[in-house]
């Protein structure tokens, strides 16, 4: 399974966190670089990554991505990486200060939305400041999604009958 090319942006998407939209209210999105080893980059180019349980934390004034799984590279041998290690995110000092402040004051968390290679071939991660959804919020969102899908189906069938 290789990474998928996104034609609109020129980005090659490696992994998406689809659970983030279900579990969190997304407020702000931003892009960060990520420090990787050579075997991690090679595994990402093959599309061997998942971010279902990943999140970002602050340690010593820096931001790290935790629980992002990048599978070992098959030809890595003894130089392979640890699949679940914490990876440093590359942000400007001012951005880091702003994010840490919002996380501490607002009770928000940072969740990754997608991991991709930009048009220059650099690994980037799209992060979002988010607050957790309650169970009733998730049920309401699912109800709205189902209703919109049914509404589209009804309108589509109605247009076929009119023709």
3-state DSSP of the chain: CCCEEECCCCEEEEEECCHHHHHEEEEEEEEEEECCCHHHHHHHHCCCEECCCCEEEEECCEEEEECCEECCCCCCHHHCCCCCCCEEEECCHHHHHHHHHHHHHHCCEEEEEEEEECCCCCEEEEEEEEEECCHHHHHHHHHHHHHHHHHHHHHHHHHHHHC
8 pLDDT higher than 70: no
pLDDT band of 31, cuts 50, 70, 90 = very high
- The per-residue pLDDT of the chain, averaged, comes to 87
Q: For the segment 60-104, what is each residue's pLDDT rounded down to a tens digit? A: 989 999 999 999 888 888 888 888 999 999 999 999 998 888 888
């Amino acid at each position: 399974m290789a990474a998928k090319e996104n034609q609109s942006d020129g980005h090659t998407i490696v992994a998406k966190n689809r659970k983030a939209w279900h579990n969190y209210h997304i407020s702000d999105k931003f892009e960060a670089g990520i420090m990787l080893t050579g075997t991690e980059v090679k595994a990402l180019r093959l599309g061997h990554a998942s971010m279902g349980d990943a999140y970002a934390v602050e340690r010593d004034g820096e931001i790290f991505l935790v629980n992002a799984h990048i599978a070992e590279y098959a030809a890595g041998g003894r130089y392979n990486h640890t699949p679940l290690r914490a990876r440093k995110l590359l942000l400007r000092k001012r951005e880091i200060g702003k994010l840490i402040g919002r996380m501490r004051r607002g009770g928000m968390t940072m969740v990754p939305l997608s991991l991709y290679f930009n048009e220059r071939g650099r690994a980037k991660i799209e992060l979002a400041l988010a607050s957790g959804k309650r169970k009733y919020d998730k049920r309401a969102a699912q109800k709205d999604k189902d209703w919109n899908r049914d509404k589209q189906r009804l309108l589509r069938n109605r247009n076929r009958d009119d023709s």
